[in-house]
Amino acid sequence: MKTGPQMNTLLQNLQAKVESQSQTTEEQTQQMLHDFEQHLMQALNAAQRKIAQDLQSLEKLSAQIHRRTAAQIEDQAEKIQEAMSDLDASRTEWRTVTWKTMLPAYLAGVLLTSWILLMAVQMTFPEPEAASPQINLATFGLEGTRVSRGLGGLGRVLSLPKGVELADCPVPNRGGGTICIETRVTR
């Protein structure tokens, strides 16, 4: 097949147009790619600056928090140290107060316990035989009278029946050991 001059011209025009459009598309694509790269670089640079600023802010904030925390820890340590010294002083004072107040009470308790034990042991001993004759009570009107030993064997206690009362002695009691009583019978 033979191509005519018109066909050649048409093909050449078409080829020129395709090349021109291809070149224009390539230039546009290159321009878009270049613009994209510039926008991407700007965005990356902005992000990098923002990250650097955030890191600096974070470092400042971290240092500030560290200083505050250290100050609070020091304050707490001082308070704890002060409380410990107060507690130690209180404990020392408590020991002193305890010994000053408890020792006399403890000694009194020991002495009282010893005395009660001694009295209990002494009460189990038989009554000693008197070297002098024992004075007997008059029997008229004194039925039901009881004589008990005093605590620790120190003397005797006379329990009088009802109706018997102590009275003034007509003769002064100079020798001791004499008591006067009155009953219904002796009145």
Enter the pTM of the model.
Answer: 0.35
Q: Are residues 27 and 96 in the same domain?
A: yes
Q: Are residues 31 and 93 in the same domain?
A: yes
In a domain, 6, yes or no: no
Q: Are residues 29 and 108 in the same domain?
A: yes
Give the residue numbers spanning the domain of 178. Answer: 140-187
Does the CA dihedral 73-76-82-84 come out positive or negative?
negative
3-state SS assignment for residue 97: helix
Beta partners for 167? 180
**Phi, psi torsion values for 164, nearest 5 degrees:** -100, 130
Q: What is the full per-residue pLDDT of the chain (187 aa) written as tens digits?
A: 455 667 778 888 888 888 888 899 999 999 999 999 999 999 999 999 999 999 999 999 999 999 999 999 999 999 999 999 999 988 888 877 777 778 888 888 999 999 898 888 877 776 666 555 555 555 566 677 777 776 666 667 677 777 777 777 766 666 666 677 777 666 6
In a domain, 134, yes or no: no
Q: Are residues 146 and 113 in the same domain?
A: no
In a domain, 1, yes or no: no
d(CA 83, CA 89): 10
- Domain count for the chain, please give it: 2
